[in-house]
Structures are given as C-alpha cells and as structure tokens.
Amino acid sequence: MQDIISEPNHDVSITQALTQVHHRINQACTSSGRDQTEVRLLAVSKTKPLSAVNQAYQLGQRHFGENYLQDALEKIEHCMFGDVCWHFIGAIQSNKTKTIAHHFDWVHTLDRLKIARRLSEQRPDNMAPLKVLIQVNISQEKNKNGVALADLDELVAAVDVLPNLALCGLMCIPAATQDVDQQSHAFNQMTTTRDRLNKSYPQLTELSMGMSGDLDSAIACGATMVRIGTDIFGARNTHAEQ
C-alpha cells in the first residue's frame, strides 16, 4: 500500500512546500541561536515556469535564482512585478556576461577575474552596481567551478576595485554528501574564510550556501542565503537542464 506521508515533494503544492521550507529555516535558526532575519531564502526557479515564480511571489517570496540564461530571460522579461530580485547562480560563459550584467541584481558564481572585468564593463551606468559573490571550490573537487581557497585572496582584491561590481560575499556548492559532519566541515571553512576577509573588506558579509539537502547544517554554520529549488518547486526534469 502506498504511504501517503512519504509522497515526493513535487506532489505538494508550492504554497505548502514554501511554508515547510520557512519552517525548516526557522527551526535551524532557533536551534543555532540565530535570528531568522539573518537568513535570506533564495527560491531557485530554474526550469520552472513563470507561473511558479508568480505563485511564490504571492506568498511573499522576492528573491529568485536562475541558472540557464535563456530560460531566465523569458521569465525576467515577462515578470509583472518590479520588486523581484533576480540572482544568477549558474556557470558563466564569457559570451553571456553582457546579458547577465543587464538583467540580474546578483551573481553568485563569479570565479575568474576575466568574467568579473567583463561584468563590470558591461553593467549599464544607470543601474546599481551588480552585487557579486565569489564561488569557492571548497571541497577541492576536480572539474568543479569555483576558485581554490589558495587563490581566493588575490581574486577578492582584484574584484573589489572594479567600479560596477559590489563584492558582497562568498558562495559554495560543497561535494554532495548526507554526512552532516562533512557538510559542516565545508560550511565552517567558508564561515572562517568570510570572517577573515571581512576584517579587510567590511562589505563582504554574505555566505550563500545550503540547498534543499543541506540547508539545516548550512544555517547552523552561518549561511546568510540559502538556495532552495526542489523543496519549493518540486523535482526538476533533468532534460531541461542543458
């Protein structure tokens, strides 16, 4: 007999799912003695339709994360709400920087100076500086995006002086694991690094870390932004992810 309680999340409406995610965030904050206003929820709407964004918006959600530029642009251009903040969280190719600089408020996945320079040059003068986070390859995985910890300080120093970027913090996607100790190890390294850099760069405060599978330990370790897709919008059709 089918167990109704353990039905997969994609059968739960966005309303219920978003409420559950808020609850999880609040619990994680409470048990680690943090104030829930310290953690911003980024709803990752990649591959999902604008109607899903709209539904989350009606429930008060304002920050949305997108990975695929074409998919994102269709939503951004048709979105009716002026106060939505769009975050680019996908891999950045050089030929896409202009579009990103024109349409997004935040970029989480900066890991090369060349891309940073292009984003700064291409950011329109009438827009606020593009808020950027530097992605760190914290689990030192081969073929994974992100700057190595050893190269981070040099990149931070170079990005910090670019006129049309506002360097706000760090981001990571640690190696996937269910082991909470391993999750915490990676997240704590990020927090230590942010704290160290923050002494020289007071505006470098954000830590974008934690996804559907590890948001609780990310918050316990100090995340200021969690990026949640599956647990809000349901499973994605992986064929839609190029």
Ligand X SMILES: *Cc1c(COP(=O)(O)O)cnc(C)c1O
Q: Which residues make up the interface to ligand X (CB under 6 A)? A: 44, 46, 67, 89, 173, 211-213, 227-231
Q: Specify the residue, 57 or 88, whose C-beta has the smaller distance to ligand X.
A: 88
Shortest Cβ contact with ligand X: which residue?
229
The distance of closest approach from Cβ of residue 107 to ligand X in the complex, given in angstroms and rounded to an integer, is 11
The three-point CA angle 217-89-239 to 5° equals 100
| Distance of closest approach, residue 159 Cβ to ligand X, in angstroms | 19
Spatial distance between the Cα atoms of 211 and 29, rounded to a whole number of angstroms: 15
**Tokens representing residue 86 in the block:** 């769009």
Q: How far is the CB of 65 from ligand X (least distance, A)?
A: 6
For β-strands 206-208 and 63-66, DSSP reports them as: unpaired
Give 45 or 191: the residue with its C-beta nearer to ligand X: 45
Q: How far apart are CA 84 and CA 64, in angstroms?
A: 7
Query: Within the chain, how many helices (H) and strands (E) appear?
Result: 9, 8
CB of 60 to ligand X, least distance (A): 19
Select from 205, 236, 202, 209 the least CA-distant residue to 225: 209
**C-beta closer to ligand X: residue 108 or 194:** 108
Q: How far apart are CA 62 and CA 54, in angstroms?
A: 10
Nearer to ligand X, 136 or 157 (CB): 136
The residue (of 177 and 212) whose beta carbon lies closer to ligand X is 212
Output the smallest distance, CB 8 to ligand X, in A.
13
What is the smallest separation between the CB atom of 217 and ligand X, expressed in angstroms?
14
Q: CB count, 10 Å around CB of 128? A: 10
Q: Which long-range contacts (CB under 8 A, 24 or more apart) does 210-213 make?
A: 211/44, 211/173, 213/176, 213/178
Nearer to ligand X by C-beta: 2 or 242? Answer: 242
Nearer to ligand X, 210 or 222 (CB): 210
From the list 130, 120, 123, 118, the residue with the least C-alpha distance to 85 is 130
- Cα 52 to Cα 40, 41, 44, 61, distances in angstroms: 19, 16, 11, 11
